[in-house]
Amino acid sequence: MSMNNLLQSENFSLRQQLEALLYEARQNEDKMQRFDQLERRLIGAASLLELVRLLLAEYKLAFGLEFVTLALVDREHEATRILQSGLGNDAASVCSGLTLLQSADALEILYGETRRPVLGAFSEQQHQALFNPPFDGIASVALLPLARQGELIGSMHFGSTSRDRYVAGCGTDFLERLSEIIAICLESALARERLKLAGLTDALTGVQNRRYFEHRCQVEVSQARRYRHPLACMFLDIDKFKRINDSHGHQTGDDVLRTVANLIQSQLRAGDTIARYGGEEFVVLLPQSELHHSRLIAERIRGRIAEQELQAHSGQAIRVTISIGLSMLPVDVMSGENQQQAEQLIAAADKALYQAKHGGRNRVVCDASPVHDSAPISFRGSRLRPFSAWARRLLQAASKVAINLLKRLKRA
């Protein structure tokens, strides 16, 4: 081969190498831009729910991954409560790909003492639980430990159908940086959620407070009116609570409040809302619950509390009962503001509670005149009169017809 041909061959080879390097550089630059954009969104996430959504959905789209899952250590069920309060019964479907762990033991085994990303071929035995469901089609994986202050708080998992996407022994600087950012964002989001919950939670009983309930009630009313779902509201009041405080002391009274709150909550679904309204009063929202089902829940709560034997600080056994007022928001209520309808729903439950108290306590009373656009026909109080007047007129007309018919028969 001549010198000229040799030089041309070398130049061509060098040009190919240069183009490959430039292509790789452009790919890396594009990847870093996408990573930078996602990083900014992660840092700016307003809630834990938004952060989880970004990690599970946006990262998959931004980097062309087929499988992305996340595991969080949730020893005290804190993340569970936060996500459920934001989504109710839809939390599981919206956060598909998220697993909440009781402990970090499985993650400790997975990462060992190095706490560094793990890259390599997919192993059904080792990795199925991380991607289940689904795991079909995964060829290579990247597993990212999420740690803060030397403690594992979670794990991020990427799965690809390409065997060359994640290869054991490859550099992990980019993934290590991503792990640190995700861990910091998770810790920050949880801290913000704790502050939010502190302002919306009753310190004594641990259930939601009145401020949270009033906001949540408007949200549930809006949803009920939009989708024409039934919505029930319960107003609950501990019977003769002042006597408990006076006879056994305020410490025993506080214990009773905590116990009653726990007993009420134990009978509710994940999407229901319970709050301490004030003093010895509690309120509950039951979305998508018909009247007969809501009544059954109320009766279960009443019965559960009545059969529970409590103990005062003096050692004396005490019995506690509760009165419950129940009201329903009809599905045909379309006019008026949500706040106004929420206030009327609560007021109707409070009115029913008043009747339960004056009817002998330790009972459930259903409001018979739920909120309507116009004044409803009711079987309680003064609203019985329009119905009675209409019935009297009907009976009078029927009597006249009967009298005339008898006269005609006599003539015949």
Known catalytic residues are 280
Which residues are CB-neighbours of 44 under 8 A, at least 6 positions away?
A: none
Q: What are phi and psi of 96, to 5 degrees?
A: -60, 130
The three-point CA angle 94-99-101 to 5° equals 145
- Cβ neighbours for 5, distance < 8 A, ≥ 6 positions apart: none
Going across the sheet that includes 98-101, the strands are 98-101, 67-73, 151-160, 140-148, 118-121
Residue 150 tokens read as: 């030397």
Distances in Å between the alpha carbon of 7 and those of 14, 18, 21, 83, 389?
10, 16, 21, 66, 112
Which element (helix H / strand E) includes 140?
strand 140-148
The one-letter amino acid code at 334 reads M
If you ran DSSP here, which 8-state letter would residue 201 be given?
B
Bridge partners, residue 151, by sequence: 148
CA 231 to chain centre: 17
Task: Tokens 């009327």: give the residue.
Answer: 344
- Show the tokens assigned to 235: 């107003």
